[in-house]
Copies of this chain bind each other. A is one copy, B any other.
Amino acid sequence: MLDNLTTHIKKFIELHDTDVELINSVVSVKQVKKKAFLLQPDQVCRELYYVSKGCLRLYFINKKLNEQITQFAIENWWMSEYGSLESNKISNYYIQAVENSEVISISKLKLEELFEKVPRLERYFRIVQQRAFTASQKRIEYIYSMSDEERYRHFSSLFPDFIQRIPQYMLASYLGFTPQFMSKIRAKKV
């Protein structure tokens, strides 16, 4: 649903009907099946994705050949691999649907054109980027101030609903430890 995006934008800036039309004319809606990929290694990331329904994950394969998840995106969050998007260099990340999802995508190029036509959108994305940065910094704070076990309990208490939506091993990966260690702390809790 295209509405989801413009409704979200309207929480931050005013949009005229003509703006809404302009936006809707350059984005596209994708139904993404669980486990389907929006980005794979050796591709250049050229799009940004807004999740209108479902859940995406961003991950890469580390030296030990394990998946390392660096981000999730659920409803009303943007996801992209900015390292590649900004540099036009090949990415070593995957973007994959964790659930059957509905995603609104826009190419970097179209977005640049859109900024020319609807300059107020710069403001929306400034705010979105600032929030993303703040969240990312908060995450670094947690990494450096809590043990893995504390971080697991903290995350669980902050997002009890979210942890029901994803397999445990994905949460373990996101939090930076092994599924075995996760089982150990969960067993302790009882």
Contacts and interface: CB of A to CB of B under 8 A. Distances in A.
Contacts of A176: 143-144
Given A86-B131, A144-B176, A145-B63, A71 B137 contact: yes
Given A140-B139, A144-B62, A82 B134 contact: yes
A86 B130 CA distance: 9
Contacts of A62: 144-145
The A interface, classified by DSSP as helix, strand, loop or mixed, is helix
Nearest to A87: B134
Contacts of A41: none
Nearest to A84: B134
Contacts of A140: 70, 136, 139-140, 143
A122 B132 CA distance: 16
Contacts of A179: none
A133 B82 contact: yes
Given A119-B119, A176-B143, A129 B133 contact: yes
Oligomeric state, in number of copies?
Answer: 2
**Range of interface residues on A (Cβ < 8 Å):** 20 to 34
Given A62-B145, A144-B68, A83 B122 contact: no
A119 B60 CA distance: 38
A136 B83 CA distance: 11
Given A82-B134, A126-B129, A139-B140, 8 more contacts: A68-B144, A82-B130, A82-B137, A86-B130, A122-B126, A129-B130, A129-B133, A132-B133
Interface of A: 60, 62-63, 68, 70-71, 82-83, 86, 115, 119-120, 122-123, 125-126, 129-134, 136-141, 143-145, 176
